C-alpha cells in the first residue's frame, strides 16, 4: 500500500475503471462508496468525490472499535480493510460501528478561519511573553519590561549580581519584542476585520443573528460569541444530549455489578469549543453573579476549593452551553441573565 501513489485525477480514473469492471450490464455504472479517516487532508477529497457523484464518508478515527490486545498488527492494508468493513456495516444500518463526520460547507469552514487564526496568534503572544520572562529569570530578574517604555526599562535592568544585561541576551530580547509587537498587531488586524465582516453581513443571516444575540449578554465578548456560533451553534442539534456530546462535556457512565456512577467527561468532541465553554463558565461567575447558574454553582460548591470546584465548573459549563443554545435557537432567556454593554470578556 505504501508504494501506491496517485493524484486526485488518477483516483477518479481508478474509480471509473472499477465501476466499469463491476458493472453487470454494458452501459450500467456500478454504485461506489468511498470512505477515509478525518485528518490533515481536510474535506477537499470528500467534496471532489461527491461532486463527481461518488458517495463519500468521513470516519471519525477514534470512534472505530479496535482489537484490545496489547500488541496487534498495523499496516496500511490492514487499516484499509478495516475501514471497508466499518463502511459496509454502516451502510447496512449499524450506526454504532463508528461515528461519521458531518462535513461543513466551504463557507462554514472558511468562516472558522478568523477566530482560529486569532487563537494561534494569542498562543504565539503568550509563548513570546513567557520566553522573555524566562530569559530574564535566568539572570535573577523577575517580571518583564513594558512594551511602551522598552528601551528605558531594559537599559535600567540589572542582573542578580549587579551587572548590565549581556549584549547577546539584550539583542535576543529586542528580537522577541519585535515578534511580540507583530503578534499584537496581527491580533488587532484580525479583530478589526472580523468586526467589519460582521457589520457588513446581512442581518437576516441566521449565523449573524446568533453572534449578535450572544454579544448582547454581559460577559460574552465578540471572540466568545464567534467561537461558540462558528464552532457549535451553526450546526443543527436535535436535543441537548447531542449538543453536549458534540462539545465533549458529557460524563462517561460506568456501570458494573452494583457500581453505577459517572466518570470524567468524554473529551470526545470539539476541543476548541470545550475550552471556550470552560473559560466562559468561570467568567460567568464574575459577570453574571445574579444568574441562576451562578447561584447553582455557589450552592453546591460553597467555600470548597480545588478539585471540587473544577468538577462543578464543568457541570456548570454543560448547563450554560445548553442554556445559550436554547437562547439563540428559541429566544428562551436563562434565569437571571443580565444584558449590557459594559466590560466583557473576550
| Beta-bridge mates of residue 217 | 339
CB 228 within 8 A of CB 284: no
CB 283 within 8 A of CB 219: yes
What mean pLDDT comes out for the span 14-32? 80
* CA 74-78-84 angle, 5° bins: 140
Helix (H) or strand (E) holding 35: strand 33-37
* CA 121-123-129 angle, 5° bins: 105
Record the pTM: 0.84
End-to-end CA distance of the chain: 47
Domain boundaries, the chain: 8-103, 108-200, 207-330
Cβ neighbours, 10 Å, residue 20: 12
Count of H helices and E strands in the chain?
Answer: 13, 4
pLDDT of residue 302 exceeding 60 = yes
pLDDT single digits (tens) 74-101: 888 888 899 999 999 999 999 889 889 9
Which of 12-16, 18-22, 39-43, 115-119 is predicted most confidently?
A: 115-119
What single-letter DSSP state applies at residue 93?
T
Amino acid at each position: 500500500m505504501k508504494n501506491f501513489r496517485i493524484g486526485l485525477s488518477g483516483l477518479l480514473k481508478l474509480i471509473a475503471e472499477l465501476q466499469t469492471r463491476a458493472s453487470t450490464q454494458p452501459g450500467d455504472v456500478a454504485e461506489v462508496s468511498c470512505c477515509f479517516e478525518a485528518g490533515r487532508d481536510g474535506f477537499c477529497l470528500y467534496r471532489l468525490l461527491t461532486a463527481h457523484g461518488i458517495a463519500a464518508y468521513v470516519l471519525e478515527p477514534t470512534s472505530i472499535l479496535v482489537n484490545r490486545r496489547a500488541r496487534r498488527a498495523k499496516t496500511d492494508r490492514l487499516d484499509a480493510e478495516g475501514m471497508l468493513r466499518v463502511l459496509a456495516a454502516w451502510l447496512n444500518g449499524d450506526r454504532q460501528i463508528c461515528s461519521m463526520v458531518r462535513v461543513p460547507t466551504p463557507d462554514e469552514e472558511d468562516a472558522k478561519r478568523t477566530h482560529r487564526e486569532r487563537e494561534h496568534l494569542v498562543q504565539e503572544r503568550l509563548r513570546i511573553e513567557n520566553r522573555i520572562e524566562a530569559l530574564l529569570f535566568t539572570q535573577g530578574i523577575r517580571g518583564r519590561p513594558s512594551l511602551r517604555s522598552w528601551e528605558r526599562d531594559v537599559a535600567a535592568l540589572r542582573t542578580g549580581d549587579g551587572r548590565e544585561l549581556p549584549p547577546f541576551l539584550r539583542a535576543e530580547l529586542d528580537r522577541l519584542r519585535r515578534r511580540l509587537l507583530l503578534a499584537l498587531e496581527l491580533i488587532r488586524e484580525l479583530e478589526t476585520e472580523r468586526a467589519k465582516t460582521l457589520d457588513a453581513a446581512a442581518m437576516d443571516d441566521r449565523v449573524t443573528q446568533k453572534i449578535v444575540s450572544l454579544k448582547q449578554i454581559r460577559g460574552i465578548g465578540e471572540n466568545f460569541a464567534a467561537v461558540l456560533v462558528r464552532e457549535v451553534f451553526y450546526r443543527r442539534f436535535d436535543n441537548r444530549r447531542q449538543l453536549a456530546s458534540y462539545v465533549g462535556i458529557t460524563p462517561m457512565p460506568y456501570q458494573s455489578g452494583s457500581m453505577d456512577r459517572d466518570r470524567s467527561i468524554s473529551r470526545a468532541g470539539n476541543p476548541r469549543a470545550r475550552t471556550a465553554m470552560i473559560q466562559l463558565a468561570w467568567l460567568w461567575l464574575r459577570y453574571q453573579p445574579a444568574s441562576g447558574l451562578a447561584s447553582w454553582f455557589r450552592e453546591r460548591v460553597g467555600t470548597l476549593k480545588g478539585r471540587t470546584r473544577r468538577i462543578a465548573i464543568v457541570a456548570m459549563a454543560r448547563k450554560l452551553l445548553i442554556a445559550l443554545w436554547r437562547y439563540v435557537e428559541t429566544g428562551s432567556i436563562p434565569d437571571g441573565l443580565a444584558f449590557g454593554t459594559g466590560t466583557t470578556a473576550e
